[in-house]
Structure 1
Amino acid sequence: MRWFEIALVVLTLLSGLVWLLDNLFLAKRRAANAGLLDEGREPWYVDYAKAFFPVLAIVLVLRSFVAEPFRIPSNSMMPTLLTGDFILVNKFAYGLRLPISNTKIVPVGEPERGDVVVFKPPQHPEQDWIKRVIGLPGDTIEYKDNQVFVNGKPLAYERVGEYVGVGSGAEMTGASLLVEQIPGHEHQVLEIDRLPFVDQGEKGPMTVPAGHYFVMGDNRDRSDDSRFWGYLPEQNIRGKAFLIWLNCDSITSLCKHNFDTSRIGNRIP
């Protein structure tokens, strides 16, 4: 929602500027003219600026530097994230960035293997996507026969059953539910035993260039990720997803029949 970010920045700056000009000049002029008809009264635009600037400034700071909400629009991160999950993204995990431009101004940390990140894909810079980091800069990645290899070593998998999907994820019912082991990290993935919907994206071996990452969706046969469009530039990353705070599969129904309270407060592995 880039338009919302731009509008928030513009409104915050305008209201703050009006408030500043009033404190420096306009308020003094009104005080000098007090008692002359309506000259001493505070203009409506100053009143609005004083009322809205603190709220807008707090929202801007929290959204830009602390945590930002996003809604999951697709099934590409099932079973970890479902369509309709509303998540919070840590905006300072990888460094403080300016709103709109996403320019890093204070480095804090770097993405690690297994992190779930929100980013702007190079081919669709106006959109926000979410995937899991599989390869770091300098890693050699290979993907073949539904197996991921990192630096020549295959990731360990354990089949834990058959997935049963609900709502928008019902199409994945019957897929294999696997536990994938990334060194120091464990999470679930889905794999379709039947003919995949898309090319499985067999790639490699590929070496991730400096300043880039190799990302994949947990729903391996339903994810448009680095297997198909290449590496993710570090400057495109917006933050680390860490919490589900609401789930509503269909916003068109006003959540009347698609509200899943069991997912509220779930941490994102």
Structure 2
Amino acid sequence: MAHSTIEKHGAIPLRVAVVLVCCLAALLALRIWVLEPLIVASDSMEPTVPEGSTVLLLKSPSFEAGSLVSFRSPIDDALTLKRVVAVAGQTVAFEDALLVIDGREIPEPFVDHSRIDGTYFGPVTVPAGHVFVLGDNRGRSIDSRDFGAIPVHSIEATVLWPSP
């Protein structure tokens, strides 16, 4: 059985090359428009997302209260990761470190309340077209308590993995 000259020299058949180029293009498109890895640079989301962890962001404007989202910080324009705790029209308050939305205490098993007891805030009403975001490490997070509610259109992505 004779081998072609191309096969003898180890060249990749055109068909395989086309498939490889298409796969690379698809991965690049996925990375640019759909998914993005982010290395978390602060401890503001601990213990849910420890500093130095990598999260996978889904570039989608779809979110709800409880979702982890990324946006540009109004303070320094850095890509920031926080939890949406309230949406437009809801009132947000802290009563002795406990999150209260629309007058009801919200259970947050991921927050160490003993480290932030004695904290009071609000109530404030989230304006139309905005969301109120908080870090899970309430004692160390710079969030909507500092810079106010953020516009919904500023949310760039939601955390796909690890799931909140």
Q: Indicate the TM-score class for this superposition, using the shorter chain for normalisation.
A: 0.7 to 0.9
Residue deviations 1:77-117 (CA, integer Å, cap 9, x gap):
1111011101100113x2xxxxxxxxxxxxxx3x2110001
**1:231 matched residue in structure 2:** 149
**1:123 matched residue in structure 2:** 75
More helix by percentage: 1
Where does 1:87-166 land on structure 2 (aligned, <5 Å)? 87-92=55-60, 94=61, 109=62, 111-125=63-77, 127-156=78-107
Deviation of the 1:62 alpha carbon? 1.2
Residues 205 and 194 of structure 1: CA distance in aligned 2, closer, same or farther (over 3 Å): closer
What SS does structure 2 have at the residue aligned with 1:69?
strand
Residue deviations 1:160-207 (CA, integer Å, cap 9, x gap):
xxxxxxxxxxxxxxxxxxx1xxxxxxxx122344789xxx5x321111
Partners of 1:139 and 1:120 lie apart in 2 by 23
Residues 122 and 59 of structure 1: CA distance in aligned 2, closer, same or farther (over 3 Å): farther
Partners of 2:102 and 2:28 lie apart in 1 by 41
> Is 1:242 the equivalent of 2:160?
yes
**1:268 matched residue in structure 2:** 163
Deviation of the 1:70 alpha carbon? 0.3
Where does 1:1-269 land on structure 2 (aligned, <5 Å)? 57-92=25-60, 94=61, 109=62, 111-125=63-77, 127-156=78-107, 179=109, 188-193=110-115, 200=119, 202-243=120-161, 267-269=162-164
Is contact 1:191-1:221 (8 Å) kept?
no
Is contact 1:78-1:190 (8 Å) kept?
no
Deviation of the 1:65 alpha carbon? 2.4
- Structure 1 segments of 4+ aligned residues over 6 angstroms from their partners: 53-56
Residue deviations 1:37-79 (CA, integer Å, cap 9, x gap):
xxxxxxxxxxxxxxxx968854552123221010011111111
Partners of 2:137 and 2:91 lie apart in 1 by 22
Residues 68 and 221 of structure 1: CA distance in aligned 2, closer, same or farther (over 3 Å): same
Larger RCO: Structure 1 or Structure 2 (Cα < 8 Å, ≥ 6 residues apart)?
2
- 5+ residue gaps, structure 2, are 1-20
User: TM-score, normalised to structure 2's length?
Assistant: 0.78
Residues 148 and 195 of structure 1: CA distance in aligned 2, closer, same or farther (over 3 Å): closer
**2:11 matched residue in structure 1:** none
Cα RMSD for the two superposed structures: 2.3
What SS does structure 2 have at the residue aligned with 1:63?
helix
Residue deviations 1:201-224 (CA, integer Å, cap 9, x gap):
x32111101111100011111111
Partners of 2:116 and 2:74 lie apart in 1 by 31
User: TM-score, normalised to structure 1's length?
Assistant: 0.49
Residues 151 and 117 of structure 1: CA distance in aligned 2, closer, same or farther (over 3 Å): same
